[in-house]
Chains A and B, each alone.
Chain A
Amino acid sequence: MSTGLSSLSKLSEVTSAYPFAGMEYIYSVILLAFIILFFMWQTLMEQRHMKKIMGETSVESESPSSAPALSPAE
């Protein structure tokens, strides 16, 4: 069973109340992986963003017409 809390009859003995108690090391690995993934994704996303701005820079000046086209669906 995944539950950490299957009975409320002896409250003084209840400690961990979350599911999958005992898998905290795996949770820690998931957290570490999540952070690493974030930084990788962020780095790539920022690179693309910079390139896009660099591509635009030589072509146009700032004006309302440089705004992305909008449609009702957006």
Chain B
Amino acid sequence: MESETTALTTLFTEFYFFMTVVLMFFIHVGFCMYEVGVSRTKNLQHTLLKNTMAIPVVGLAFLLFGMWLYIALQGWPVATSSVSLETGFEPWSKTLAPNLSDHISGVFWAAFALFGMTAASIVSGAIIERAKTTGFLIIAVYVGAVAWVIPAAWGWAGNGWMAQYLGFHDQYCSAVLHAPAGFATLGVLMALGPRIGKFGPTGVPREIPLHNPWMTTLGIFFIYIGFFGFYAACHIPIVNVAAEGQTAFWTTTNIYGVPITLSGVTINFLFSLFGGLITAYLISGGNSFWTYSGGLAGIISASAGNDFYHPILALVVASAGTAMAYVLHNFVERRFKIDDAVGAVAVHGYCGVFGGVVAGFLLWGYPAVMPSPGALITLSDGVGWFGTNAEGLPIVTPMGNIIVTLVFALGFGLIPGYILGQILKGFGLLRVPAPVEVKGLDGENVPLTYPAISGTEAEFDALAKSEAKV
């Protein structure tokens, strides 16, 4: 690189995104532990592998077309009618491989791929103990590489047409990722049906005991850690946002090119976690499962505006979202017999929608996008359908955020999730047969999960002793 400034900013950005990828992997450690902790002993290995395989499968799909969708569709179909096949993120692109002229594309792709894997994992937990792995992985490709990616292209990019024309703001993906993934999960659950025995003869839901509450505890803490990386990956870490000819202004920006501080975001992240934990603890009467899930619910409820909220505001939004999710989860479970084993629809779906809608009110009037050559953001013609500021920049409005949030949750989540679930069900790829569900999805491997308890270890020890003649 020719200048020191270019070299420093480029290499810092490369390393920054690399670290977000490492941190985000903890989300998968957490999801795996959480789901396995919630599963019964007879289903552990199936649960673990079902979730784990979403990582490579979504990753491959993301290289094949996911990242291209994000880059190519940002202006389509409103700002432009053309879709490029030369974005630099096609699977045949020369920049998605070791290339000394490009330090960013690979780590940028990886951060987005990790977002996709996270989205797919949201579905995974809800459908445990009765879903087939094949069906889930097909759903994972849709949710991880399409369902949130097109919303992200339209509403989670400085050049996205929904950000520019509708003033949509959702910095940490409440409505962009969590809402479509959560509502797609609801659609799949409607097609899948509850686990055998989940509902009694009168329709009252039964608690299916956790196999290992300590594993769920650690799992959710790992998810919290991973979410720090998720948040960090939503930034442009260092960029000069000054217009051409003006004095340089170096800063971190949100995904829309608007200056923010990592400092402010960090405290808001923690306060939304605090709000969720405390509210869930209180409203659930000290239920540990809900308390831990509440932390995540709080973060997701406040995520849409956590780049600008005051910490106390983040706390209040997180508390309200968490309480709403808890009440709504129990209502939907009883009323519609939806068996969401980990509360994913509530935490991601309901809180995602809540976060997107609330941000529209609380950030009403904020510039939605800031164009600058440094952030590679340019303003299209006729932006700001719901209003612009004095400089002609589109502004955040309740109307813009409500419309977009509902389009993402229903149009990319619930409806396609239900249709996909029904198609998979029709092909016999969604649900395991009832005898398999009763016996356990691990089948012959059940005794090998805990050999010391099942007797397999003792059996082997006896064999070893007889061979050693001791």
> Footprint of B on A, CB under 8 Å?
4, 11-12, 14-18, 21, 24-25, 27-28, 31-32, 34-35, 38-39, 42-43, 46, 49-50, 52-54, 56-58, 62-68, 70-72
Nearest-Cβ distance from residue A65 to partner chain B, whole angstroms: 8
Q: Say whether, besides A21-B94, A67-B448, A16 and B99 are in contact (CB < 8 Å).
A: yes
Pick the residue among B57, B92, B446, B460 that contacts A24 (CB under 8 A).
B92
Contacting chain A: which of B108-116, B131-139, B200-208?
B131-139
Q: Cβ of A11: which chain B residues have Cβ within 8 Å of it? A: 100
Name the contact of B134 in the complex, choosing from A27, A43, A68 (C-beta under 8 A): A43
Main secondary structure of the interface of B (DSSP, over half): helix
Closest to B464 in A: A72
| Assembly CA distance A67 to B188 (angstroms) | 34
- Chain B interface residue bracket vs A: 35 or more
Select the stretch in B153-161, B210-218, B375-383, B433-441 that faces chain A: B433-441
Q: How far is the CB of B395 from chain A (nearest CB, A)?
A: 42
**Are B456 and A67 touching (Cβ within 8 A)?**
yes
User: In the complex, how many angstroms separate the beta carbon of A16 from the nearest chain B beta carbon?
Assistant: 5
* Seed contacts A53-B444, A64-B447, A64-B455; 11 additional CB < 8 Å A-B pairs: A24-B94, A43-B429, A54-B433, A57-B438, A62-B446, A62-B447, A64-B458, A66-B444, A67-B454, A70-B459, A72-B464
Among B58-66, B226-234, B328-336, the stretch in contact with A: B58-66
Say whether A42 contacts B133, CB under 8 Å: yes
Q: Are B100 and A17 in contact (CB under 8 A)?
A: yes
Residues of A within 8 A of B467 (CB): 72
Interface centre among B53, B64, B458 (most CB of A within 10 A): B64
Q: Are B459 and A64 in contact (CB under 8 A)?
A: yes
Q: B99 and A67: CB pair below 8 A? A: no
Query: Residue B311 at the A interface, CB < 8 A?
Result: no
Could you give, for residues 443-470 of chain B, a 1 whenever the CB lies within 8 Å of some chain A CB and a 0 otherwise? 1101110000011101110011001000
B91 and A46 contact, CB distance less than 8 A? no
Task: Say yes or no: A57-B456 contact (C-beta < 8 A), given A15-B101, A24-B92, A27-B91.
Answer: no
Contact B64 A31 (CB under 8 A): yes
Residues of A close to B98: CB separation below 8 A: 4, 16-18
A28 to chain B, nearest CB (A): 4
The answer to whether B93 has its CB under 8 Å from any CB of chain A is yes
**A-B pairs with beta carbons under 8 A, tally:** 115
Which of B436, B459, B460 is close to A50, meaning CB atoms less than 8 Å apart?
Answer: B436
Q: Which of A21, A25, A28, A35 contacts B61 (CB 8 A)?
A: A35
From DSSP, what is the main secondary structure of chain A's interface residues? helix
Contact A24 B93 (CB under 8 A): yes
Cβ contact within 8 Å between B92 and A42 = no
How far does the alpha carbon of A18 sit from the alpha carbon of B100 in the complex, in Å? 10
Cα of A32 to Cα of B454 in the assembled complex, Å: 42
Q: Does B97 contact A (CB under 8 A)?
A: yes
In the complex, are the beta carbons of B63 and A49 less than 8 A apart?
no
Residues of B at under 8 Å CB distance from A? 2, 42, 53, 57, 60-61, 63-64, 90-94, 97-101, 132-134, 137-138, 429, 432-433, 435-436, 438-441, 443-444, 446-448, 454-456, 458-460, 463-464, 467
User: In the assembled complex, how far is the CB of residue B54 from the closest CB belonging to chain A, in whole angstroms?
Assistant: 12
From A4, A38, A58, contact of B57 by CB (8 A) = A38
Tell me the complex Cα distance, A28–B65, Å: 10
For the complex, give the distance between the alpha carbons of A16 and B96 in Å.
Answer: 10
Compute how far the CA of A70 lies from the CA of B42 in the bound complex, rounded to whole angstroms.
20
In the bound assembly, the distance between CA atoms of A49 and B63 in angstroms comes to 30
* A33 nearest CB across to chain B (Å): 11
- Which partner residue on chain A sits nearest B100 by CB separation? A14
Asked if B463 and A72 make an inter-chain contact with CB atoms under 8 angstroms apart, the answer reads: yes
For A50, what are the chain B residues with a Cβ–Cβ distance below 8 Å? Answer: 132, 432-433, 436
Q: When the two chains form their complex, are residues B439 and A56 in contact, meaning their CB atoms are under 8 A apart?
A: yes
Q: Of residues A12, A57, A63, which shows the largest number of chain B Cβ atoms within 10 Å of its Cβ?
A: A57
A54 to B441 Cα, complex, angstroms: 10
Q: A53-B439, A57-B439 are in contact. Are A67 and B64 (CB under 8 A)?
A: no
What B residues does A65 contact at CB under 8 A? 455
Question: Which chain B residue lies CB-closest to A24?
Answer: B92
Query: Does A18 lie within 8 Å of B435, measured CB to CB?
Result: no
Interface pair B137/A42, CB less than 8 Å apart:
yes
Which B residues touch A54, using CB under 8 A?
433, 435-436
Tell me whether A56 and B444 are in contact in the complex, defined as CB-CB below 8 angstroms, given that A31-B63, A64-B459, A67-B454 are known contacts.
Answer: yes
Residues of A within 8 A of B63 (CB): 31
What residues of chain B lie closer than 8 Å to A15, measured between beta carbons?
94, 99-101
6 contacts between A and B (CB under 8 A): A14-B100, A18-B99, A24-B97, A27-B91, A35-B57, A35-B61
- Whole-angstrom distance between the alpha carbons of A58 and B94 in the complex? 56
Which single member of B97, B447, B464 contacts A66 (CB below 8 Å)? Answer: B447
